Amino acid sequence: MLGVRVGDRRPAVGRVADAGGRLRALLIAPPGAGKGTQAQRICAHFGVADISTGDVFRREVAAGTVLGKEVASYLDRGDLVPDTLVGEVVRQEIQKALDATGGYLLDGFPRTLPQAEAAHAIAVDMGIAAHAVVTFDVPRAVLLERLMGRGTSDGRSDDTEATIRHRLEVYDAQTAPLLDFYSGQGMLVRIAADQSIDEVTKVTIAALEEAMH
């Protein structure tokens, strides 16, 4: 067992094949799964742009752009940024990434099933659908250990075990429908991510290379 489950992989519904194209993929993983590190390694290997919606929003807010002000208006009220606005931002960032590198790794979107359904339909229509959606499977006990250790080293006293468990429960509730949707599309690749960082990188890259062909 190399740490990758391919049972959810089959020809994706409506996916446009493009031999020789750059990687197009989504990355969905719980807090503590090592997503940030793996995203950097995946992008470096395939030569594509890493799109983090969180980073995009923070950059726009800090720069005081029109988009940033609109996003900030929702965040300041404690509201979620509407799906339509998030979708438009993601569409723009993906187009920039495609123009610059020919591919993308999207991290942090979609977060809801309606976002996933809308984004997939648009991407298929544009011929830029993802080759695969990668998720990292890590036992809950391992995630708790990692996040508790991170909170201690970062001095985050608010990261109690109860708080961390709640964050993971929210993640599970939000992402379970997404993973079911992408599994139904034949796009889901599950990686056993409780291995060494290098091993996770190795099996993830191998799975993505297979998905591109």
* Residues belonging to the active site: 35, 111, 150, 156, 167
For residues 67 and 64, give the distance between their C-alpha atoms in angstroms, rounded to a whole number.
8
